[in-house]
């Protein structure tokens, strides 16, 4: 769930006062809050079994603890960037940090699953202001000659947040308590806010009205779909509530698309999707997040419930999957100008699909040992690494410079939505296959869920091969 990087053509020029403050300080000021926001995407995964016990949470409530953050994050990201352009990027960035910190306190103090879910939704709103504005502010604070290096480090820190989420979550739960997962955000925010004011100059962008109607339609539509999928097994897939929820979600999304095609200040300009490389990149991002992050939700719990590891041990054992992109994403980034996006992106998705299928096929009994999972974890991790950089390149290829920021935000939003849908759908498969949160019952549901994830990601690879233009991402003479 990393962000797509804007291209240098759209980035502001650092003023002399910012240059004097130093690239390193600006990088720390922009990256620390962003690391905090990306970390919280997956930091809870290894804590979910503990939360299930201590808050008497159901499987549905565990899903909402993750999805409340993800959906709020996804829905409000573009809106936050728009407000930053109008009101001042640093001002909205700092407001996001404050909201995130206060919601973290509320999460730590939650005494029930319902209160934690509500706090997580507010926390996602804060993250939505942090993520898209951190890079823009960083770019405006460093000299042009050092900008590429700063952006590269920023991207590495973002990937590190995703990779270390399960590990840090597990370590904190093992060493202190689940509440400490959220308390650690508070001192980070206290240090980050004055640093932001010191190191990152204020800037504004294109002033555009916020499409509130579009925001409500999109958010309500996605929420309705996810809610219906989560309720499917309990209420019955043919029940009025589930069918009605899906129908309502579909109607709201259609209404959103109609609204965006008519308004002069769209939240998501639909004309962007006329660029084939952009459309295919976003389609692949959706299925990528669906399969990968949906299965991470289940696998992190399986390592504890099914295999008996502690939260920290489980988090460490996800590293062949979550940390591999830090090695392979830069390699893919260097290769893209030479070979183009199409082969790298298709190969990345194919390797992910193979890794997910491997995990599904080896999870067959309670005699499984961790080393049986490692090849699948490694394949999926290498595939992730080959996907991130080419996908970012494809999103911005053939895109007008003025649209780079919007295109980047749309791609990040679609990734988050894919993750939320993946958690909901794969848990639905898990439950429908008689999976239960017990050592004996986890395998029954995990295997079909992993295989469904593999099929979805494999379809993404085929989509890239069929529709991604061959010249996408290649360096032009």
Q: Which domain holds residue 153?
A: 19-206
Does residue 97 fall inside a structural domain?
yes
Same domain, yes or no: 111 and 135: yes
Backbone conformation region of residue 308, classed left if phi is above 0, alpha if psi is from -120 to 50, else beta: left
- Residue 264's contacts (CB-CB under 8 Å, 6 or more residues apart) are none
CA distances from 283 to 176, 423, 464 (A): 41, 17, 9
Does residue 4 fall inside a structural domain?
no
Closest CA to 153 of 136, 166, 135: 135
Quick one: pLDDT at residue 351? 96
Does residue 275 fall inside a structural domain?
yes
C-alpha–C-alpha distance, residues 81 and 133, integer Å: 6
Closest CA to 162 of 79, 56, 39: 39
Same domain, yes or no: 143 and 238: no
Same domain, yes or no: 148 and 59: yes
Does residue 8 fall inside a structural domain?
no
Helix (H, G, I), strand (E, B) or coil at 9: helix
Eight-state DSSP code of residue 6: P
Does residue 1 fall inside a structural domain?
no
Same domain, yes or no: 367 and 468: yes
C-alpha–C-alpha distance, residues 244 and 248, integer Å: 6
Run of H or E residues at 460: helix 442-467
The last residue of a domain, from among 206, 226, 253: 206
The tally of domains found in the chain comes to: 3
Quick one: pLDDT at residue 15? 52
Helix (H, G, I), strand (E, B) or coil at 44: coil
DSSP string, 370-420: HHHHHHHHHHHHHHHHHHHHHHHHHHHTT--GGGHHHHHHHHHHHHHHHHH
Quick one: pLDDT at residue 234? 82
Quick one: pLDDT at residue 152? 62
Same domain, yes or no: 292 and 365: yes
Does residue 3 fall inside a structural domain?
no
Backbone conformation region of residue 340, classed left if phi is above 0, alpha if psi is from -120 to 50, else beta: left
Chain centre to alpha carbon of residue 27: 21
444 and 435 Cβ atoms separated by less than 8 Å: yes
Task: List per-residue pLDDT tens for the chain, 477 residues long.
Answer: 444 444 433 445 445 544 445 778 888 888 889 888 888 877 888 888 888 889 999 888 999 998 899 889 888 888 888 888 888 889 999 999 999 999 999 999 999 999 999 999 999 999 999 987 887 787 777 776 676 567 667 766 776 777 777 888 888 888 888 898 999 999 999 999 999 998 888 888 777 788 889 899 998 999 899 989 988 888 888 899 899 999 999 999 999 999 999 998 888 889 989 999 999 999 999 999 999 888 988 888 898 888 888 888 888 888 888 788 778 877 887 888 888 889 999 999 999 999 999 999 998 766 678 899 999 999 998 998 888 778 877 887 887 776 777 787 888 888 888 888 898 899 899 998 888 888 878 888 999 999 999 999 999 999 999 999 988 877 655
- Residue 60's contacts (CB-CB under 8 Å, 6 or more residues apart) are 230, 231, 234
Same domain, yes or no: 397 and 375: yes
Closest CA to 41 of 82, 78, 71: 71
Same domain, yes or no: 164 and 282: no
Let me know the angle formed at the C-alpha of 238 by 232 and 241, rounded to the nearest 5 degrees. 65
- At 290, which CATH number? 1.20.1250.20
Does residue 11 fall inside a structural domain?
no
Same domain, yes or no: 259 and 395: no
Runs of H (alpha helix) within 142-239: 144-175, 180-183, 185-199, 212-235
C-alpha–C-alpha distance, residues 297 and 287, integer Å: 16
C-alpha–C-alpha distance, residues 356 and 378, integer Å: 10
Does residue 316 fall inside a structural domain?
yes
374 and 320 Cβ atoms separated by less than 8 Å: yes
Chain centre to alpha carbon of residue 259: 26
Q: Which residue has the tokens 């916020």?
A: 210
C-alpha–C-alpha distance, residues 256 and 353, integer Å: 32
Same domain, yes or no: 227 and 86: no
Q: Which residue has the tokens 């804007």?
A: 6
200: its two tokens: 């990152």
Phi, psi angle pair for 473, to nearest 5°: 85, -15
Same domain, yes or no: 258 and 276: no
C-alpha–C-alpha distance, residues 205 and 11, integer Å: 10
Inter-helix orientation angle 442-467/341-362, to 10°: 160
Same domain, yes or no: 110 and 90: yes
Same domain, yes or no: 190 and 334: no
């Amino acid at each position: 769930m990393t962000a797509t990087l804007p291209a240098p053509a759209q980035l502001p020029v650092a003023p002399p006062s910012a240059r004097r403050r130093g690239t390193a300080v600006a990088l720390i000021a922009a990256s620390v809050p962003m690391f905090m926001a990306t970390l919280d995407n997956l930091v809870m995964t290894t804590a979910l079994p503990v939360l299930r016990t201590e808050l008497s949470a159901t499987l549905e409530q565990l899903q909402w603890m993750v999805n409340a953050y993800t959906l709020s994050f996804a829905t409000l990201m573009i809106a936050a960037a728009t407000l930053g352009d109008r009101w001042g990027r640093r001002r909205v960035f700092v407001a996001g940090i404050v909201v995130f910190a206060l919601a973290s306190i509320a999460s730590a103090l939650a005494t029930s699953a319902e209160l934690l879910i509500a706090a997580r939704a507010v926390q996602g709103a804060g993250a939505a202001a942090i993520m898209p504005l951190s890079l823009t502010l960083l770019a405006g604070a460093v000299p042009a000659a050092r900008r590429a290096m700063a952006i590269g480090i920023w991207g590495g820190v973002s990937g590190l947040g995703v990779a270390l989420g399960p590990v840090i979550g597990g370590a904190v739960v093992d060493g202190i308590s689940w509440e400490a997962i959220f308390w650690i955000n508070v001192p980070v925010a206290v240090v980050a806010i004055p640093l932001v004011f010191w190191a990152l100059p204020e800037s504004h962008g294109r002033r555009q009205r916020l499409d509130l109607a579009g925001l409500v339609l999109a958010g309500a539509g996605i929420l309705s779909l996810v809610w219906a999928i989560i309720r499917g097994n309990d209420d019955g897939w043919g029940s009025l509530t589930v069918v009605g929820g899906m129908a309502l979600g579909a109607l709201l999304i259609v209404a959103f698309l109609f609204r965006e095609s008519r308004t002069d200040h769209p939240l998501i300009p639909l004309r962007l999707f006329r660029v084939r490389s952009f459309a295919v990149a976003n389609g692949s991002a959706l299925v990528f997040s669906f399969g990968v992050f949906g299965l991470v939700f289940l696998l992190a719990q399986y390592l504890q419930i099914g295999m008996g590891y502690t939260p920290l041990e489980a988090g460490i054992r996800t590293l062949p999957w979550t940390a591999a992109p830090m090695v392979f994403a830069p390699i893919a980034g260097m290769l893209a100008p030479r070979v183009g996006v199409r082969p790298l992106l298709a190969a990345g998705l194919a390797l992910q699909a193979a890794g997910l299928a491997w995990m599904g096929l080896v999870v067959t009994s309670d005699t499984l040992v961790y080393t049986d999972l490692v090849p699948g974890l490694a394949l999926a991790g290498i595939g992730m690494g080959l996907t991130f950089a080419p996908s970012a390149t494809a999103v911005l290829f053939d895109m007008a410079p003025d649209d780079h920021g919007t295109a980047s935000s749309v791609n990040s939003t679609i990734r988050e939505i894919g993750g939320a849908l993946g958690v909901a759908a794969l848990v639905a498969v898990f439950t429908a296959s008689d999976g239960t949160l017990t050592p004996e019952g986890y395998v029954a549901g995990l295997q079909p869920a992993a295989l469904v994830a593999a099929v979805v990601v494999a379809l993404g690879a085929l989509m890239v091969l069929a529709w991604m233009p061959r010249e996408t991402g290649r360096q032009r003479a």
